[in-house]
Structure formats: C-alpha cells, structure tokens
Amino acid sequence: MKYVSTRGQAPVLSFEEAMLTGLARDGGLYLPDTIPTLTPEEIAAFEGQSYEEVAFRVMRPFIGDSFTDGEFREIIARAYAGFGHAARAPLVELAPGHFLLELFHGPTLAFKDFAMQLIGQLFEVALKRRGERVTIVGATSGDTGSAAIEAFRGLENVDVFILFPHGRVSEVQRRQMTTPADANVHALALEGDFDDCQARLKDMFNDFDFRDGVKLAGVNSINWARVLAQVVYYFTSAVALGAPHRKVSFTVPTGNFGDIFAGFIAKQMGLPIDRLVVATNQNDILHRCLSGQGYFKGETIPSISPSMDIQVSSNFERALYYAYDRDSGAVAQLMEELKSGGFTVSQGALQALNETFSSGRVSEEETLATIQATLASSGELLCPHSAVGVKVAEETRVAGTPMITLATAHPAKFPDAVEKASGIRPPLPPRMADLYDRSERVTRIANDLAAIEDHIKGHIAR
C-alpha cells in the first residue's frame, strides 16, 4: 500500500512513513493510492464482533507491511483498553430512526481519543524498531492537546510539547493537559491566542535546523493515521443498524473535516452510506461551499462549540482531490488561490461533492435549544458540538433510512454551555472525578519562537 500527496509533488511513502511525516513536503495531504474494498459478506461478518476485531479488519488493508498482524492486534488492544465503555463507541436511540454514536468514552472525553490513542501506540512500536526518538509538538485550542498528551504520556521514544493559549481553554481541558505527571509530557501556556500557537508551530516546522535537530513530528488532524482510525466506528455503528443489508446516513459536527472524511473513506470501502451530512456552527465555510457559494475565508467567530471554530478546514483538501477526479494539479491550484482568500468549486466537482455530502448550519440559540429539547425528549445530555449535529440531523433525515449523529464530546467537557442550556452542570465520569484535586505542572512561555525552541531543546530526553 502506497501513499500519495493530494498535490502530487511529494515522495510516495509507505503507511509508516506517511504516519511519521504527517504533512507532505509539497504542502499536500497523504492518501492511499487505491482504497481497498470489503465485500458485503465481509462487512456482514462484523456483526457481534468486538470493536477491536472490527478495527483490525477495517484498517489492516491500509497498513501494508508496516506492522505484522500480531503487532497490529496488540497495538489496537492497548489503544482502546483505557476507554470507559466496553463497546468503545456505543449507540443510543434518541428518537425513532435517529441514533447517537457516543464517541466520548475515551480518556479525555472527546472522539479524538479514538485516533490519538491508536497513533500513540503505532508511533511507539515504529520508533522502537527504528531505534529513533521524536519530538511531538502540537498547538491546541483544547481537545487535540489533551488527547495527544494522554496518548503519548509515558511512552519511551517520544517527548511531547503542547502549546495552548494561556487563559483561553476550559478548566477541564487545561487540567487534562497539566496534571499528567509523566516526565515526557510538557504543557506550555503561551502568552497569546490559538492563532499565535499555530503560527509558532508552523515557524518551528519551517526552521529546518531546529526541525531536524529535535526530529520534529506532527500529529494534527491531517495525519492520515488519524483519519484511518476514525473509519472504524462508521462500520461498527452501521452494522449494528443493519448494514450492509440496509443503508444508513451520518451527521457529523465538523471543523477540520477529518471525522466526516473518515465516513467518506468508509463509503468508498463499500459501506452502504446514503448521506454524509456536514453540521457546522456559525463558522459555516463548509456549509456555504457545499451550497454552491464557493470556499471563501471569513472571520472566525468564537462560539459555544469551540472545537468547530475554524475558517480553513484542512482535511477538505482530501475531499476536493476526489471531487476533482484525483487531479493533483487542480488541487494545488485551488490551494494557491486559497492563500489570497478563497476559490470557486467547478460545477463538476460540486456535483461530485453533493452526490455524497449534505450540510446544515446551526446558530448559538439553536444549539442551546437543542441541548434542552433533547434532554427533555430522550434524557440524553448533549455537548454543544453534538447538539449542532443533532439539530442538522433532525432537519435532513428522511423516513426509512436510519440517521446516526456522531456525539463528539462528553457534556462535562463543556459544563458552562451545557448548564446554561439545561440548568444541569454535568459531572465528570467517576474514573476522572479527581481531576480537580490533582496537582498541575505547566510552563508559561512568551509568544516568541526562540524562547519556545530553547525550552524544547532544554527539555527533551537525549
């Protein structure tokens, strides 16, 4: 299995190399050169199997000879052992024909644990074999950083540094990053906002002396291994509702388009998915684009679903690559136009996107009202991101095709918005109820590249 860049100018890599590289050298994103398919019989046989077993069968064709079957099974077992639910991704019924896929039972209470826990284990095995050590640096507005720290803490061949904006993440998110005691974990509170964190991260990747010196590696949502890990729960949930004998649809609260793109891959693999519905908050560039208004950047407006507050949706480039019939030259051209504000999607490509994707946008008031209404009708307390999904799903679902809405975070991760909507302040699950008692360890750091690089060089184990 070989991996190629959406922009066509980077070296062709193996699964392991693409995973360790992250972003392609031509600025593009890696994709498999062909998408393996599963027969209806193979999909039907997932029924009644454990999450781990389905994960093995779905992902195995993509990893080539990077890992042996035995290694890969052990990696998967370790990745999901720390989840707080035996089903890993349980499905609950909200209303007749409308189901919620709870993806928040991992160690940091957001769906990002599904991918991050897996790549933590994949990195560890690959690096040990290569006799290498890497330094992972990430920028976060909250969920990615906590998931990365939880996934890489205590691993032998990795140091992890997470930059988050000082004073601008929720208390739960901050404590999840600052309380792990492992020596290879470093939380850095940057004196700036999330854009500053991302800008300094980019500066570090462009400083080749530093990059090569510390063996910098990236685990943000464009890493192909993260997308792949998310394909699995589309299969487990669809099969639980009757696939492959019956079609299902999904609604996905969307920011960087990683989670929903995994659904697109599941569909290409042969899972009978009817619609993939993109749900956005007031930061609606994807909804505008899919409605035929082109892909043009605006101002990011802070919302109560902050993990979806984006203007440029990085994984959308992968969808464009397929919509443009794998024309990497056309994709590179669009990304060039994006630098000066945006681009229009060709008629043919828009038609291709609309064959699979629908979309909807939800206001702040509607998000709060949906949390309250869903609690009243089903007893399920939603986080604000999941509420955006549920609202759009209600508007788009059709009788006869089950709709599965992805619940991307636990309500306790966003207690202020949930309390405002419902009057209930959701408690943390018992397994992490002592989060507020654990001691914190964090370095406050200036928004200054040299200061950050010096700190990292001084704190990596060598």
Catalogue the active-site residues.
112
Q: Kindly state the helix (H) or strand (E) to which residue 350 belongs, with its residue range.
A: helix 347-356
Among 79, 110, 137, 216, binds ligand PLP (CB under 6 A): 110
For residue 303, give the nearest of 165, 177, 418, 417 by alpha carbon: 417
Give residue for tokens 């636990």.
410
Nearest approach in angstroms of CB 200 to ligand PLP is 20
Q: How near is the Cβ of 281 to ligand PLP at its closest, in Å?
A: 10
DSSP assignment of 126-156: HHHHHT--EEEEEE-SSHHHHHHHHHHTT-T
How far apart (Å, rounded) are the C-alpha atoms in residues 398 and 98? Answer: 10
* Least distance from ligand PLP to the Cβ atom of residue 405, Å: 12
Which residue among 7, 88, 105, 112 contacts ligand PLP (CB under 6 A)?
112
Angle subtended by helix axes 224-240 and 51-59, to nearest 10: 130
Residue with smaller CB distance to ligand PLP, 324 or 414 = 414
Within a 10 A sphere around the Cβ of 451, how many other Cβ atoms? 15
Quick one: which segment of 120-128, 154-162, 257-265, 449-457 binds ligand PLP (CB under 6 A)? 257-265
Stretch that binds ligand PLP, among 114-122, 123-131, 249-257, 435-443 (CB under 6 A): 249-257
Does residue 221 bind ligand PLP (CB under 6 A)?
yes
Strands (E), 332-410: 342-343, 357-361, 403-407
Q: Which amino acid type is present at position 370?
A: T
38 vs 278, which CB is nearer to ligand PLP?
A: 278
Q: How far apart are CA 262 and CA 254, in angstroms?
A: 12
Q: Which of residues 256, 282, 370, 422 is near ligand PLP by CB under 6 A?
A: 256
Binding residue for ligand PLP, selected from 258, 263, 270, 411, defined by CB under 6 A: 258
Percent helix, strand, coil in the chain (nearest 5)?
50, 15, 35
- Examine residue 408 and tell whether it contacts ligand PLP (CB under 6 A): yes
Closest distance to ligand PLP from the beta carbon of 255 (Å): 3
Tokens coding 137 = 């640096």
Q: Which of 307, 356, 372, 374 binds ligand PLP (CB under 6 A)?
A: 307
Q: Which of 15, 51, 123, 257 binds ligand PLP (CB under 6 A)?
A: 257
What is the C-alpha separation between 338 and 201, in angstroms, rounded? Answer: 20
Residues that bind ligand PLP (CB under 6 A): 110, 112, 143, 221, 253-259, 307-308, 385, 408-409
